[in-house]
Amino acid sequence: MLVALTDPIDPAGMAILHRAGHEVALPGAEGLEALLTRAEAVVVRRKLPDDLSARAPRLLAAVRQGVGVDMIPVENCTAHGVLVANVPGANADSVAEFAIGQMLAIARRVDTMHAELLAKGWATARARSDQAFELRGRTLGIVGMGAIGTRLAEITRDGFRMRVLGHRRGMNAMPAGVERADLDALFAESDFIALACPLTPETRGLASAARIGRMKPTAWLLNVARGPVVDGPALVESLRAGRIGGAALDVYDEQPLAADHPLRDLPNVILTPHAAGLSSEAVERMSTGAAEEVVRILAGGRPRSFINPKAWEASRARRAALGHPRMEATA
């Protein structure tokens, strides 16, 4: 069958797809939409059309090479029998370590000292150490206690002896050493706030103007989740006014970040291009995990990380209509 890739994947993932006998293709001059009209599966690293099923009449599987499935129109897929899967935890270490790097750079003024050492000299740069501080004893608030949030909590709690506050949907127990906190308290008490939650209707705008207004004047907001989790204009206003310490942002409402975006002109921000989960190790794990899910689904099996299990029966009917072998009747 034909597996469409929205973007290149690691060679290890390609090898898995080829060993299973599938054709693999990237968008060429024809573009992604033309490729989707012929594909039985798609490995996803960019936003797919909201009416995906109408544009991809042969599609059986949409597999996210990563965690967040906001790039896939899950409801549309469910209604038309397209199975959706992701690869949870594959980039947890990478994203957690990235957030640690952001906090260390902030605490020790690394970017400022680097720029001033080059532009103004040794003495001026060294003077910035007067503003440096240790992470030990500081409070980190984590919104989203999935694989990424849990790993970040473990590193900061055990490695840096930070106080860790956590917020998650539902009442599942927090990891050991993490204090459960409601969002208002978490924003008010934390020295660093790390957003590591999925983008859902409930989390859109979660870091609202009111909650940003609760932050300490020295606190930093770290977003390794999705841009729309933050009220962008409210954040820019607070940064411009110096009402919070700053923001380290890896994701944005619209990507790539526009050349004239106001964030580019602010001194109290660290901007990176949605790269937190893109270490070489994480890319290989995400690629192989996504490829394995594609092979499993196209062979008639249920995905291990099944986002829309309600689509199972409709998917069996879709396969039959397309002339593919019958799927497994049970998990």
pLDDT at 328: 56
Residue 143 domain-assigned (yes or no): yes
pLDDT at 171: 84
Q: Are residues 72 and 187 in the same domain?
A: no
Return the CATH number at 123: 3.40.50.720
Is residue 179 very low, low, confident or very high in pLDDT (cuts 50, 70, 90)?
Answer: very high
Q: Are residues 304 and 290 in the same domain?
A: yes
What's the mean pLDDT in 253-269?
Answer: 96
Please determine, for residue 44, whether its predicted confidence score (pLDDT) is greater than 60.
yes
Q: Are residues 184 and 211 in the same domain?
A: yes
pLDDT at 59: 98
Please give the residue that has the higher pLDDT: either 327 or 309: 309
Please give the residue that has the higher pLDDT: either 329 or 27: 27
Q: Are residues 170 and 27 in the same domain?
A: no
Which DSSP string do the residues of 157-206 spell out, in sequence order? IIIH--EEEEE-SSSPPPPTTEEE--HHHHHHH-SEEEE-PPP-TTTTT-
Q: What is the mean pLDDT of the chain?
A: 96
CB proximity list for 79: less than 8 A, separation 6 or greater: 53, 311, 314
Please determine, for residue 327, whether its predicted confidence score (pLDDT) is greater than 60.
no
Name the residue with tokens 């992604």: 32
C-alpha span between 224 and 229 (Å, rounded) = 10
Q: Are residues 22 and 61 in the same domain?
A: yes
Q: Are residues 140 and 193 in the same domain?
A: yes
Q: Are residues 201 and 79 in the same domain?
A: no
Please give the residue that has the higher pLDDT: either 324 or 297: 297
Q: What percent of the chain has pLDDT over 90?
A: 95
pLDDT at 330: 44
pLDDT at 236: 98
Please determine, for residue 329, whether its predicted confidence score (pLDDT) is greater than 50.
no
Q: Are residues 235 and 108 in the same domain?
A: yes
What's the mean pLDDT in 138-145?
Answer: 98
Residue 328 domain-assigned (yes or no): no
Q: Are residues 16 and 99 in the same domain?
A: no
CB proximity list for 60: less than 8 A, separation 6 or greater: 1, 40, 41, 81, 82, 83, 297, 298, 315, 318, 319, 322, 324
Name the residue with tokens 């992470």: 135
Residue 163 domain-assigned (yes or no): yes
- The token pair at 145 is 């206690």
Helix (H, G, I), strand (E, B) or coil at 225: coil
The string of pLDDT tens digits covering residues 65-113 is 999 999 999 999 999 999 999 999 999 999 999 999 999 999 999 999 9
Range of the domain at 156: 92-271
Is residue 309 very low, low, confident or very high in pLDDT (cuts 50, 70, 90)?
Answer: very high
What's the mean pLDDT in 140-169?
Answer: 97
Residue 147 domain-assigned (yes or no): yes
Our count of domains for the chain comes to: 2
What's the mean pLDDT in 118-123?
Answer: 96
User: Residue type at 91?
Assistant: N
